[in-house]
Amino acid sequence: MPSTKTVDLAAHPLTAWQGPLGLPDFAHIGDSDFSPVFDAALTAHEAEIDAIAGNKDAPTIENTLAALELGGEALDHVSSIFWCRAGAYTNETIQALERDISPKMSRHFSAISMNEKLFARIDDLYQRREHLGLDAETLRVLEKTWKGFVRSGAKLDAEGKKRLARINEELSSLGTAFGQNVLADERDWALFLDEADLAGLPDFLKSSMAEAAEMRGQKGRYAVTLSRSIYEPFTTFSERRDLREIAFKAFTMRGQNGGASDNTEVVRDMLKLRAEKAELLGYASFAALKLDDTMAKTPKAVHDLLDPVWEKALEKAAADQKELERLAAQAGSNEKFAAWDWRFYQEKLRAEKFAFDEAELKPYLQLDRVIDACFDVATKLFGITFEEKKGIVAWHPDARVFVVKNADGSERALFLADYFARPSKRSGAWMSALKSGYKLGNGSKPVIYNIMNFAKPPAGEPALLSVDEAKTLFHEFGHALHGMLTDVTWPSVAGTSVSRDFVELPSQLYEHWLTVPAVLEKHALHVKTGKPMPKALLDKMLATRTFGAGFATVEFTSSALIDMAYHARPDAPAEPLRFEAETLEKLDMPDTIAMRHRTPHFGHVFSGDGYSAGYYSYMWSEVLDADAFAAFEETGDPFNPALAERLRKNIYAAGGSKDPEELYTAFRGKMPSPEAMMVKRGLV
C-alpha cells in the first residue's frame, strides 16, 4: 500500500475536485486510491485539530469554532465520494475498505470529541457566550457544538472516554457488517420464472423482471428480486399464491437466513453496546440519549403520537381484512388468509371499489416526466431551474448531472441522480451530499444527490413508475431541495443538518405536489399516446389516496414501535428476535401484516444509528407536513407565492440555524395537532 507521504492532497482527484463543473474527476478515481488518501486526509485533519487545540491565543469564534467547522476539507471530500460509492456502486474491494475505514473514522472523531484542550476552548467560549455579541445562528452553532462534545463524552473521566471510544468503534463496525449482510441477501436471492409462471402480471412488471434476469445471466427468463420495485408489484399482481409466498418469506427473512450474512448476533451486540453507551453518558436509555436533541425530547412524547395511531390502524386493518377475506372466498380460496395474500386481494378490492387498478396509472407515470414534474414544482415554488449536462462521468454510467440555477441565472447548486436498481447498490432510496452549502470562510455551493432503486427497463423502453415510486422520487427530491436551497453561514447547520424528527418535513411535504391536479395534467402523459391522464382516472386516483390506510399504517407504526421498544429500555434484550415477536404479540399485531422493516434488515436503525430510536420521525414530520400543505389548500392556490416564499425562507433555506418549532411557527403561525395527519391517512 502506498505511504501517506506519496499522496498530494492538494492535487489528488479524490480531494482536489477538478472535474467538469467542479465535480470530482470520477474518470481518474480508482478503488485502490481510497485507502492511502483516507490515511493522508486523517493525518492532515489530526494536525489541524492539534493546531486549534494548541493555539496559545485566547479562544475566539474565529480561531476555535470557525477553524473547527472549516477543518478537515480533504477528509470531507474523500469521505463523501467513498460513502456514495459504498451505498450506490459497491464491490468486494469497496466493502473490504468499508470494514477497515468505518472503525478508523470512529476512532478519529472520538479522539476529536474527547480532546481535552479542544473542549476547554469550546467550553471557554460557551461559558462566555452571552457576552460575545453573537448573532442568533452563531450562538446556536456554539451551543450545539458544546452539547455535541458533552454528549460524545468530553466530560467523562479517562477510563470512561476510553470505553466510549471503544463502544463507538465497535458500533461502527457492526453497522457496516449489518448493511453488508442485508445487501448480500438481496444480491444473492432471485426467483427465476418462465412465461408459464407469470399469470396476472402486467407488461411493465414482466419487462422489469426480464431485465433483472438478464442482469443475472438468465436471459429469456424472468426474475423476482428483493428490490421493492419488483417485489411489491409481484406480490400485488401474481395469481400464483405459491410464488407470492416464496417471495414474501424471502423478503421478510433478509438478514435472518443463517450463515455469514445473518444479522441476529449483530443486532444483539449493537443493542447491548447502545444501552451501555447511554448509561455511560448518564441517560436512562439509548432512546433518552437520542431524543434529547429532537423535537419529541422523550420516549413518552413519541408514544403519545404513535399509540393512538396504532389503535386506529388496527381497527382499520381488521375491517379491511374482512373485506379481503370475502374476496378470497369468492375467488374460491380455501386457504387461511395470509400475509402474502394482502397486497393481491387489496388490489382486487381497489378495483371493486373504484373500478380501476394501479397498473392503469403506470403508463402515465414515466420516470423522465415525473423528474420534470419535480423540477417544474421547484421552479413554480422557489424560482430555481434545472439543466441536464450530458456526458459527465459520475460514479456510475446511470448517474445524471444537473446544474441548478437561481431565477437570475446564477448557479445555485449541482444535483446528481442515480435512479435504477442494480446488485451493487443497497436497497431503498436516499439523499446525500458530496458537498453542503454554506457561507463561512470561502463558502461552498451544494452538490446534492438522490439515489433510487427503480426497476430498469430493457434498452430503448421508458421506465414506468407506480404511484408509490413517484411519491418516493418526490420525497427524496424534497430532501435534495433542503440541501440545495440552504442559505446559512455555518456548515454544521446547513441543509438537512436538523433534528431527526424535523428532517422529514421538507421531503414529506414535497410529496403533496405530485397529486396536485395541475401537475398531473401537465406531466402525467400516456407513454404511447402522449395524452394527459383522463380526468376520470385522475379522480379515481385521488379518491383512493387513503385506500389501504390500515395496512400501510400498521406496517409503518409496528416498525416504529419496535424501534422504540428496543431503545427505551435501560438494558438490551438477550434475544432481540424473540423480543420482537413478544412485543408484536403484546401489541396485537395481525399475523397477516409484516412490519415494513423487520429487525434483521431494519437498515434505518441498525446500518449505522441514523434513525435508531428515531423511526417515529416520519410520522412526527407527517403531522407537520399535513398541516403545512393545508396552509396552501386554505389559500386555494398550491403555488401561492407569498406562502411559498415563507416556506423557502423558514423551512427549506434555514437548515438548523434556529429551533425547529421556531422555524415552523414562523412559516405557519402555530404548531399543529396530529388531527390533520390522521385525516390525511384516512384513519378518522
Q: Which residues are known to be catalytic?
A: 476
595, 558 in Cβ contact below 8 A? Answer: yes
Read off the C-alpha cell for 633.
389548500
CA distance 126 to 148: 12
Backbone angles phi, psi at 591, to 5 degrees: -75, 0
Dihedral (Cα; 459, 464, 469, 471), 10-degree rounding:
130
Residues 483, 496 contacting (CB under 8 angstroms):
yes
**Residue 54: strand, helix, or coil:** coil
How far apart (Å, rounded) are the C-alpha atoms in residues 423 and 223?
A: 13
Please measure the distance between the N-terminal and C-terminal CA atoms of the chain and give it in whole angstroms: 62
Q: Is 396 exposed, middle or buried (0-12, 13-18, 19+ CB in 10 A)?
A: middle
- Alpha-carbon span 374 to 514, nearest angstrom: 8
**189 and 427 in contact (C-beta within 8 Å)?**
no
> Residue 417 is which amino acid?
A
List the strands of the sheet with 385-389, edge to edge.
385-389, 400-405, 411-420, 447-454, 430-435
Compute the residue count for the chain: 684
Q: What are phi and psi of 587, to 5 degrees?
A: -80, -5
Contacts (Cβ under 8 Å, ≥6 apart) of 451 = 87, 88, 417, 418, 425, 429, 430, 431, 432, 476
- Burial class for 559, CB neighbours closer than 10 Å (0-12, 13-18, 19+): buried
DSSP for 512-578, written as a single string: GGGG-HHHHHHH-B-TTT-PBPPHHHHHHHHHTTTTTHHHHHHHHHHHHHHHHHHHSSSS--SSHHH
The closest alpha carbon to 277, from 116, 122, 156, belongs to 156
The set of long-range contacts for 96-100, using a CB threshold of 8 Å and a minimum separation of 24, is 97/31, 97/34, 97/35, 98/176, 98/180, 99/173, 99/176, 99/177, 99/180, 100/35
Residue 646's closest CA among 654, 658, 637, 655? 654
Contact present, 289 and 151 (Cβ < 8 Å)? yes
